[in-house]
Structure 1
């Protein structure tokens, strides 16, 4: 209710009375003075909120509930931003001084009436129709068919003269970086419905929305929905599995900023692999997500690491780290084979002349019921080979040492025999001389 007097005063008198009331001492004991009319504060070309300068600061602007929607429409039209797309409102304090029946001009609310009410509202944010744009039919909010808002409904954009400059306006408006690629008739995004609102756009790329670009309006367009324009922005987030026999198996790759990177398998687990299969519409159960042989290698692109809680249903909801080298040192790329997939294509090692064989799990061996990974098998084989070489070397070394000792002993023996023979011969010669001398002495006698 407004005033309880039998003859309500003129709106100007009410305004003066309530402004004076607002200038009285508040509960905190400070003076609150209305310096000027409420202002329209722009948060973008076609988004805004209201504020009231008070004592050098800014206060909210309570509005009567029956006039808030009409005022929002008036402001959006005055900003040449089309009609209202969305308005966020909250309740004002009880018995607040509310503004109503205002006129918008030059970012100000003029000629407002004031009343004290208990059901006033505060506009916290308003978005006009020309600020509203979306991309539909893609894997992410930064890729898809372009749709704009007009007269309480969504409509599409014709692909006639649609190029990267036009698309850049959309990507920038959505906070999706810049345009990587544009699509049109025969593109990868499905056709839309409703009206075709813009045709033959000729943007420079610096506009804040498509409505600022020179174009043919909906009344003069000759386009159908088979010619709906689309765009892929640089901030599009996407995933794919590469290197498998179908799209449901392979090394996990993540798209961002126009390039594809890989995911470190540090802390990679079955829950995260299940997320990937679900996001790719390959079921929810991974057949294999680890121990790939040969190991999956990283690309030359960015390195991603994800930390997920049990509540997340999508990889994009997890905490993401990019190019944190300490999280990826010594780790390979992540991959997954979703249940029902054909798996990987690997070369056969049995016969190089035979056709390649299909594998959906890495080769393993069972010892006592336990599965031994191929890396451990390789290490064990190398260790056994080195042990065998050590044993052979030891045996050969012992053999050659014995042979060397035998030859040395034989040579020493031969040397001693030769020395004994010469000594015997000398003794025989001495004895012969003695015998000869004895014979001569006998005959002389």
Structure 2
């Protein structure tokens, strides 16, 4: 029978270096413990984020996504929140310490967080590693103008977000026009700056742009496709513990591939090849027996055996083919555009994008 806990227990998010993302841990009976991911969803995550004053939830992650797995007791299982509770302990659950889980099922959360001066985020892309670039300054989120585009800008933004290298920088509000101030224009980065605020620019709030010129960025992120004909097809590789590894094709299907396509901003899925169709990878095999519903925003939100737990060889590496999300429309004779399924607009280009 589900129970309610009348008093709030302290909560923290561990193992990320950011107080607004990480493995969910709660303090009870003098000891920190974790929460099992059975029935873990965005309503539950929203309660945790609100309790920590971290804004709205962006993701509700399962399978010890912020591994290595936690220690100590597992305090809650089968948590059911409406989303309005002031604390996670006030949601329905089986009772403190009652569970049928292991720490490989520890629940995690990524919250939107409260902006701090100079912070960067990517908006409207479905995950935190692609979307419209926004910067927090003077208590307000604002955008960047697309004058003087270069991939060096994308590299700085992606590094600042811990999203790997920049894959693309897009012009003309590719992920929708923003609101509020336009903070940067005529931005020039070398590519090795630690934050976008270290790059040269016209001055905060100095610009001759409108929001139809907002910059967007696609980062390599925690998932990539290797060995295909484009950024949107290839062998699935994921980044864990500082190392790229592959996904085993046991139970691999279109629902799993659909989540990868969504995470990469690559539109609809076309196929989910198995048996190392795009060549065998190397290094660890991070996931096996992946089971997605197809609605997840990231592959890490899908169920699997646990990070690094598998019975596979690289001959079983899973692949994905997505349709791609943008196609080339037109360019002038004086510009250069590189395009496959997705478009990279190089410096000073007048490339136009059409969302498929």
Query: So what's the TM-score if we normalise by structure 1?
Result: 0.35
With CA pairs under 8 Å and 6+ residues apart, which has the higher RCO, 1 or 2? Answer: 2
| Larger helix percent | 1
Which protein has the larger Cα radius of gyration, Structure 1 or Structure 2?
1
With the length of structure 2 as denominator, give the TM-score of the two structures: 0.42
